[in-house]
Chains A and B, each alone.
Chain A
Amino acid sequence: MAEYLEPRILSAGDSAVIIEFGDSIDMKINARVQQLRQHIERGQFNGIVELVPTYRSLAVYFDPVVVEDVGLFFERLKKMAQNTKGEIIEGGLVIVIPACYGGEFGPDMQNVVEHTSLTEAEIVKRHTAVDYYCYMLGFTPGFAYLGGMDESLATPRLKEPRKVIPAGSVGIAGKQTGIYPIDSPGGWQLIGRTPLKLFDPEGEPPFLIDAGMWVHFRSIDSKEYEEIAAKVAAKKYKPEILTKSGDAK
């Protein structure tokens, strides 16, 4: 259960197709996704509308009027996919995300405590101990899918997704962890909240996290949360960015 022997071409309606490399969250598989994306962008393809890379697959949106022979088109994509190799990306930038855990900002902390049999303090300790790799953005503007969470924290999604989750909420879904950049519905278990804005259409740049970056959480109390929130509102907050070795940059 990991990387497939052959990339799979999955039907996704008359205007999209999914090329899937495996069924696990793995940096080698993600490297193939990124490579295929680059190969297609450089190749001479007619009718491609856009490419959406995710953990282990690449979605190719196409125009069924411009693409005359879809069978041939899929064959070509498959050949390109076969010619990718997984190469692990090393180094990179680490962005520090301050987050206030539990309490009103983490309404599902108790679910995680019950599911993992860990104390709240231990959950926070493990959640802030590692650097998470950003595999992809998706779901809503600027939502970073992060890999590398301590597996002892894994908790399944809520069975009934919430209709509104506030921007900045930090959550766990299965083996994944992430931050909600805007108010939106969703099924993640919420354990905390950051005062930073992950997506700001007026910001420069509008997106705080980019694919290929690393993310590190720092636990803050509600007082510091308010202080940072005020700075963010006044556009005076500069996010802390380190290199992977830990030096400030």
Chain B
Amino acid sequence: MIFEVSSPGLLTTVQDLGRWGYQGKGMPVAGAMDSQALKIGNILVGNEPKDAAFEITAMGPTLSVIEGEGLIAVTGAEINFTINKVEAPLWQSIRVQVGDTITLSTLKGHGCRAYLCVSGSIDVPVIMGSKSTYLRAKIGGLEGRALKAGDRIATGPLKPLTWLSADFTCPDHLRPKRDLGLPLRVVLGPQDEAFTENGLKTFLESEYTITNEADRMGYRLEGPVIEHKTGADIISDAIPLGTIQVPGHGKPICMLADRQTTGGYTKIAVLCTPDIATLAQRMPGQAVHFKAVSLAESIAAARKEREQIEKLLELRASYRSRRSPSQTKKLNKTFHWTLKVRDKSYDVVVEDLN
């Protein structure tokens, strides 16, 4: 497929799971702010979970299919989504073809980042192992920038069995729950010792508000000052994804996808992996509060989220295998099976050589 962008939306960028492996050179990871929503969208359209898609922020783009046909799916934030001005469902793969106009407009419910996933993923260069756009250094994605009107963007080659995924829907229980009001789980450290007992209590018992300085790099929060024992400066060290650092002014900053790789402010805690996206889906003005959990609990939550991806892949495999032969016109003389080996499901395509 080839898309033409008629309006780009507020901030629409190409993102995959990020540029891992170069933090030692100071290269930020970037990648999807809600990686679970990206993975789900990719599964729906027949891609690998890690593939690149469009990350849409607050106000979406309008694009037209000017060549070819394929599957698309929108996941993440609840956003108004139409195809040829007819409302279309989220969390479901939908077939589109030449002449179709896809519009993602305003937010209509929870969340502020949506993912438009396309079958075959997006055909942009892989830079240092990733297609993710890192705006500050102007690399990745489309020339290191956000989409703009007039852009023409091609998709890559389709994965086997893509067409069998048409209309596949993510069931409600496998969609991430990003409810407002839920506390964000954190594991204390690595510099929790730099704070007074009162400081830690303030952090865990207060309500903080997301300020307008909230972007892909990080969210600055407003609220009660967190007290340090002696100072906020440390010898610079690494900043993991989801770190909450507290500079001299005592207000927390949550470090997200485009965060710098290292920094010199005390880090009070790190967000539990699934809750990083929960925060990234919240908007300026909204309240957050934190709850300390053990490392074991945080790991269990991270694993549970990954299991949901495995479950969705299994569902996709059985969805595909149940489809009738008339729906497999693109795959003449092929047979598709689902094989289960060591509790993992595999799509297997067997082609008749005669």
Of listed B190, B235, B269, residue having the most chain A CB within 10 A = B235
A156 to B272 CA separation, bound complex (whole angstroms): 32
A64 near B236 (CB under 8 angstroms)? Answer: no
Say yes or no for B98: interface residue by CB 8 A criterion. Answer: no
Tally chain B residues at the interface, Cβ within 8 Å.
51
A129 to B131 CA separation, bound complex (whole angstroms): 43
Say yes or no for A12: interface residue by CB 8 A criterion. Answer: yes
B302 near A64 (CB under 8 angstroms)? Answer: yes
A13 near B139 (CB under 8 angstroms)? Answer: no
Tell whether A11 pairs with B302 under 8 Å between CB atoms, given A50-B20, A57-B237, A156-B233. no
B299 CB contact (under 8 Å) in A14, A59, A136, A185: A14
B248 near A54 (CB under 8 angstroms)? Answer: no
Say yes or no for B204: interface residue by CB 8 A criterion. Answer: no
Name the residue on B nearest A198 (C-beta): B26
Minimal beta-carbon separation of B135 from chain A (angstroms): 11
A143 near B26 (CB under 8 angstroms)? Answer: yes
A61 to B22 CA separation, bound complex (whole angstroms): 12
Minimal beta-carbon separation of B344 from chain A (angstroms): 13
A15 near B190 (CB under 8 angstroms)? Answer: no
A160 CB contact (under 8 Å) in B249, B296, B303: B249
A52 CB contact (under 8 Å) in B127, B247, B261: B261
A115 to B286 CA separation, bound complex (whole angstroms): 40
A55 near B235 (CB under 8 angstroms)? Answer: yes
Name the residue on B nearest A59 (C-beta): B238
Tell whether A140 pairs with B260 under 8 Å between CB atoms, given A14-B298, A24-B235, A50-B24. yes
Say yes or no for A138: interface residue by CB 8 A criterion. Answer: yes
A20 to B234 CA separation, bound complex (whole angstroms): 13
A240 to B333 CA separation, bound complex (whole angstroms): 65
A15 to B272 CA separation, bound complex (whole angstroms): 9
Interface positions of B from 202 to 246, Cβ below 8 Å from A: 213, 217, 233, 235-238, 240-243
Name the residue on B nearest A60 (C-beta): B238
Say yes or no for B86: interface residue by CB 8 A criterion. Answer: no
A138 CB contact (under 8 Å) in B26, B136, B269, B298: B26
B21 near A18 (CB under 8 angstroms)? Answer: no
Tell whether A14 pairs with B23 under 8 Å between CB atoms, given A56-B237, A64-B299. no
A183 near B25 (CB under 8 angstroms)? Answer: no
Chain B interface, >50% SS class: mixed
A207 near B236 (CB under 8 angstroms)? Answer: no
Say yes or no for A168: interface residue by CB 8 A criterion. Answer: no
Residues of A within 8 A of B237 (CB): 18, 20, 54-57, 59
Say yes or no for A230: interface residue by CB 8 A criterion. Answer: no
B28 near A141 (CB under 8 angstroms)? Answer: yes
A70 to B269 CA separation, bound complex (whole angstroms): 18
B298 near A13 (CB under 8 angstroms)? Answer: yes
A interface bracket (residues with beta carbon within 8 Å of B): 35 or more
A228 to B138 CA separation, bound complex (whole angstroms): 23
A24 to B237 CA separation, bound complex (whole angstroms): 12
A140 CB contact (under 8 Å) in B136, B242, B298: B136
Name the residue on B nearest A144 (C-beta): B26
B24 near A56 (CB under 8 angstroms)? Answer: no
Residues of A within 8 A of B188 (CB): 11
Say yes or no for B264: interface residue by CB 8 A criterion. Answer: yes
Say yes or no for B328: interface residue by CB 8 A criterion. Answer: no
Minimal beta-carbon separation of B249 from chain A (angstroms): 6
Say yes or no for B295: interface residue by CB 8 A criterion. Answer: yes
Interface positions of A from 180 to 194, Cβ below 8 Å from B: 181-185, 187
Name the residue on B nearest A25 (C-beta): B235
A139 near B261 (CB under 8 angstroms)? Answer: yes
B136 near A137 (CB under 8 angstroms)? Answer: no
Say yes or no for B345: interface residue by CB 8 A criterion. Answer: no
Name the residue on B nearest A182 (C-beta): B137
Say yes or no for B315: interface residue by CB 8 A criterion. Answer: no
Minimal beta-carbon separation of B246 from chain A (angstroms): 13
B302 CB contact (under 8 Å) in A15, A49, A55, A183: A15
Say yes or no for B271: interface residue by CB 8 A criterion. Answer: yes
A176 to B233 CA separation, bound complex (whole angstroms): 12
Name the residue on B nearest A13 (C-beta): B270
Say yes or no for B262: interface residue by CB 8 A criterion. Answer: yes
Interface positions of A from 9 to 68, Cβ below 8 Å from B: 10-16, 18, 20, 23-25, 49-57, 59, 61, 64-65
Tell whether A70 pairs with B295 under 8 Å between CB atoms, given A23-B235, A184-B136. yes
Residues of A within 8 A of B264 (CB): 157, 173-174, 176, 187
Binary A-proximity of B246-277 (CB < 8 A = 1, otherwise 0): 01110000000000111110010111110000
Name the residue on A nearest B296 (C-beta): A70
Say yes or no for A145: interface residue by CB 8 A criterion. Answer: yes
Name the residue on B nearest A159 (C-beta): B248
Interface positions of A from 53 to 88, Cβ below 8 Å from B: 53-57, 59, 61, 64-65, 70
Say yes or no for A199: interface residue by CB 8 A criterion. Answer: yes
Can you list 5 residue pairs at the A/B interface with Cβ under 8 Å?
A13-B243, A14-B270, A52-B262, A56-B237, A61-B23
Known: A18-B237, A145-B236. 15 other contacts (CB 8 A): A13-B243, A14-B187, A16-B238, A23-B235, A24-B235, A52-B262, A56-B235, A57-B237, A59-B23, A59-B240, A61-B20, A138-B260, A139-B26, A159-B248, A174-B233
